Structure 1
């Protein structure tokens, strides 16, 4: 970098600011996207009480206010740059997560930037703004509308004149510049990480060898399964010793297990009957009202707003589509029930579409090759199948389910209604179906293969304007109350002598379990919102054996019991007994097998003799590879596979205790392989390392910071 970037004198940009006394209010959508996606915002103040904490980062508690301010700033920026946008629950959750990520990255990564001395000098900022190397994000916001080229004079004029009279400009520009500098530092850090990787010739050679080298080997092994479990005794002392020796493998995070019952509130027959009555009454009112359709739909509180658009074929649910298009203007249709939604339709008007629509089905045949003969073969296969379909040997739908790999695989080849000009499917196929005639088959080639297709409707140009009244079927208060009382009865009975499972069985309920729930992730199998469960489960006063109150989660009542509490660190033997008991048994079995091996090896000169002495067979491995730990007749055993690569050709290994059994390896020869171009290999390895470890650096920083997310205490 030029020395001028290290000077601290005011930049040209700063001089412009000093002269005008005004600053930028809104750079544009592109720059905002840059800020929101790549940059961080620093945190705020902390409360002395941890009750207001939404988590901790690097040992520092993050207050609710600090997090909420970050979220509200992010939300305000989104709303400002997207006028009229309505933020639904999914978007709110998305931006809350983004606000948290920004806080984490800011508190963790900015410290690393400071340690490395990464900064942006005034001269560098000037160069990337109004200098010779204007940043692409700024260029994007100041392009000439006619040429689409960056217009620097427009940028300078904007800073000097266009925002001169705006009193909010100074603060807005200061905030943008702050975020812009942070983004540039982030870019520098990323490039620094990438540039730290270098692959030597030796590393490239070794990698090529590991990827391509194979050995021809013979293995004589005795499986642990050959020793009966009944002959092996495993004590708690054995398990404890094993756990201590392998402590690093079994270190665990804090987590908890629960058992629970789940009562999904389902509308009753009475609720369905009530909704059906609503639909019938709506039909009667629709047929007699003097109001126009739009007003009637609005005043009826329909969940489906009035749509004045003329709809083409394929616009309505399949169950009502034909009824709507076959009905006369003024007809009242219904009631219909689709997925728990009751609907009534009135045909307001009909029209003529400018394009044709047709309904069809297809079966796709892949063309295996690029020659004309390959295409002819596929078309011949299609016609042969058509003959079988016509003769009744098979059905179109079954063949489509077997052969298709697009969305029609699950529909028996049914593509639904297809409109001219909307080529979700190949144009050649659509054009053929438009002229085929209902019930007729066609065979046509496209860039996706050869299609055996049939038109399942006549061509239509009809459009319909239909007013819809719809309401979702919900459980009534009475129905909801009956489920709540059932949950209450279950909770009361748990105070007796019966276990959780026994009470569930006595009430005809299924006990479910969720294991290793941790406070950071809070995913609970079988429960849609883990935050509500976690709020109870990880409360300071919740212990093993405790039972929850009735939890109301997304129209479902939950009653849960803490069945296990695991502290962070080394697990207890009982917590992982099933996991380590087999491994300990295998170690004991190995001690029984090895003496037999030693005696047999002393009498043997080759693999065949050794196998005969041990009463087993020789497993021949013609191309043992580090890319696979699978050995014929043995299975996955990376220890034995590694032994093959650690034994010189023409030699025998020592007796090895593998994961599946005890064995001896005879390496017969090293297979020949082609050595790849070293320079290409180095480039490939550098690229792979840059992609693989850039993310791992951040993961390591996050792990070191011991980030703890407890926002669930405040948000569902």
Structure 2
């Protein structure tokens, strides 16, 4: 069994190796969660790949295989988060199998029985086989152990046999993938001319002057952008505005939080337990029977204790401390035992004065400042107030308090000073460390005392009555909302709730804004109605969803289908771009009216035109030092002769005119062969992902998993 598990782990459950890195791209999409439900009568089609329908039964079989692999690797059943990952994995495996098999068939790619045998027990074993049967001591692969293992496979437990058969079944797809990818990768070719151009673009430097009129110098209010212009821009740049399915909703949440009565009930219970805890004969059993958290018998130093218990130091054995309320929990602590620990702990506050440089003068100034502050504190100034005023680290907000800490957690010089002190109070002189000068106040001297503490903790949870009240409030709001307008009116009328907007929710999203585990809400937005009936339309109001510790009601306000973005969904972004286009037209027209040097043109334009110099400009980067990304400006500069000006043109930050001053070409000869190898390696490294995306796009994938999960 151990050997099979080793093969599984080393092979990534065989699936990871099958697609040779492509799963990195395939698994990066949406994670789907939720219970398995079937809708639409006899419609059991999960999706379609390359014209081939994916039936629910086939998908479920792939999912079950992925699930069993997870259990074998992790030693536990997958939770909801893991199931979402596994559903995505199963879908992508099916997508890969169908779409790529069609490509394999077109090319006539096959894997022979001889190849498969060689991958398991031949001279060229699969990497997972090689690793599983390599002696860790000698590093030598033992092929005879593989043969022996296979000979005894039928005598092993069924799960071992199933695991190996699954691994073996995936060898053929893996080999096909290697062949297919290698065929395409081997077609990667870089010419000598390309290599020379690339090298020249990376190593040729230019100095240039440019005139810039930034877009922001033209008022936005002076340029009107119409929806027609936005649509024209989108049509012209469709490739930049490809979108997946998206849904817009507005929603409110009604939290299910414990009431004052709920808190009082828990407090009454914890008070009763406090009395019983004092006389309990077996503290660990008492904790086990009465606490929301398990018993922990570890000895605690003051540095590891809850703050409210630490404030009771020194503690008495047998005494019960509390109840204390913190973060929605009531706590009781009973001291079971005490002993000296291995490490000392102490508590201190400090004021750190950092030198304003690395020179001896800066160090002396920091020391003098620290000494002056120390003398003020000795004279009666409040330490915490001085820490807030002069401290230079993260403790200023707490008046310099570092809390309790054990030896080994601070820099040596600081620790030596703190743990060398035998009483509370201010240390007589600043302490120098690598951080600067510290003014130190000991608030609790070192101690090695540790305590064994039994803790009874009761979280303040809402009762059923509280939960019912929140649900009734949600239902009342739901009853008042029939469409977008009435939903908004109902929310506006109830000042205790706040409307939240979520735009562009993806089909496979698991969360909505900060609502985690909101899969049911996402499925509703995409028209999957768990209670049957008509599909969700714009203006529909949802049922009351229970998501975490809150009830949620939503209204669908918009939908976006896969394809090109519409005006409404990208209006703010595209409006700015169109506005820049219109501004550029105005600026270029005004610049064209002037002639002469850059300075003369700038003077004629006005104070908003700037003339600047850029040195060491590289064609391959497309950057203008001091300005940023301006690829068109860089390209134009390298296309002109020194001293020759370009016409005004539209850039990224504004309208520019460029004038190269000088161009310095590389002085050493290019190693064309090395550059070709570099470029080829770069392109080959991207091939796996590009191949997958190309095949997937060609497969015309239709993903209907939302109907089921």
TM (norm. structure 2) is 0.78
Distance 1:90 1:253, change over 3 A: closer
Matched, 1:390 2:365: no
- 2:5 matched to which residue of 1? 28
Q: Which has the higher contact order (CA 8 A, sep 6+)?
A: 2
Cα offsets for 1:576-616 (capped at 9, x unmatched): 4444445445545555554544442xxx2322333333335
CA–CA distance in structure 2, aligned partners of residues 453 and 710 of structure 1: 66
CA–CA distance in structure 2, aligned partners of residues 367 and 219 of structure 1: 42
Matched, 1:550 2:544: yes
SS of alignment partner, residue 128 of structure 2: helix
Distance 1:688 1:471, change over 3 A: farther
**Contact 2:63/2:87 (CA < 8 Å) preserved in 1?**
yes
RMSD: 4.6
Distance 1:467 1:653, change over 3 A: same
Matched, 1:620 2:649: no
SS of alignment partner, residue 284 of structure 1: helix
SS of alignment partner, residue 660 of structure 2: strand
SS of alignment partner, residue 206 of structure 1: helix
* Alignment map for 1:607-686 (pairs within 5 Å): 607-615=598-606, 617-623=609-615, 624-625=617-618, 627=621, 629=623, 638-658=631-651, 661-671=654-664, 678=671, 681-682=675-676, 684-686=678-680
**Ranges in structure 2 where 5+ consecutive residues have no aligned partner:** 24-37, 378-382, 529-534
**Contact 2:508/2:706 (CA < 8 Å) preserved in 1?**
no
TM (norm. structure 1) is 0.77
**Ranges in structure 1 where 5+ consecutive residues have no aligned partner:** 1-23
Matched, 1:284 2:280: no
**Contact 1:259/1:513 (CA < 8 Å) preserved in 2?**
yes
SS of alignment partner, residue 27 of structure 1: helix
CA–CA distance in structure 1, aligned partners of residues 351 and 91 of structure 2: 48
- 1:250 matched to which residue of 2? 241
**Contact 1:403/1:409 (CA < 8 Å) preserved in 2?**
yes
Distance 1:532 1:78, change over 3 A: closer
SS of alignment partner, residue 701 of structure 1: helix
**Contact 1:40/1:105 (CA < 8 Å) preserved in 2?**
no
2:309 maps to which of 314, 320, 325: 320
CA–CA distance in structure 2, aligned partners of residues 145 and 596 of structure 1: 77
SS of alignment partner, residue 11 of structure 2: helix
CA–CA distance in structure 1, aligned partners of residues 623 and 472 of structure 2: 56
Distance 1:425 1:250, change over 3 A: same
- 2:318 matched to which residue of 1? 330
CA–CA distance in structure 2, aligned partners of residues 487 and 595 of structure 1: 60
CA–CA distance in structure 1, aligned partners of residues 88 and 367 of structure 2: 55
SS of alignment partner, residue 563 of structure 2: coil
2:517 maps to which of 515, 524, 529: 529
* Alignment map for 1:282-361 (pairs within 5 Å): 282-290=273-281, 292-300=282-290, 302-321=291-310, 323=312, 326-357=314-345
* Alignment map for 1:571-582 (pairs within 5 Å): 571-582=565-576
**Contact 1:57/1:707 (CA < 8 Å) preserved in 2?**
yes
Number of residues paired by the alignment? 669
1:489 maps to which of 450, 455, 476: 476
SS of alignment partner, residue 158 of structure 1: helix
* Alignment map for 1:326-475 (pairs within 5 Å): 326-357=314-345, 386-387=370-371, 390-391=374-375, 435=420, 443=432, 457-475=444-462
CA–CA distance in structure 2, aligned partners of residues 397 and 57 of structure 1: 66
Distance 1:382 1:178, change over 3 A: farther
CA–CA distance in structure 2, aligned partners of residues 660 and 182 of structure 1: 50
Distance 1:320 1:163, change over 3 A: farther
Matched, 1:510 2:488: no
Moved more, 47-56 or 559-568: 47-56
- 1:5 matched to which residue of 2? none
Matched, 1:179 2:170: yes
SS of alignment partner, residue 328 of structure 1: coil
SS of alignment partner, residue 326 of structure 1: coil
Distance 1:567 1:173, change over 3 A: closer
Distance 1:482 1:194, change over 3 A: same
The offset of 1:315, in angstroms, is 4.0
The offset of 1:557, in angstroms, is 1.8
Moved more, 130-139 or 543-552: 130-139
**Contact 1:50/1:61 (CA < 8 Å) preserved in 2?**
no
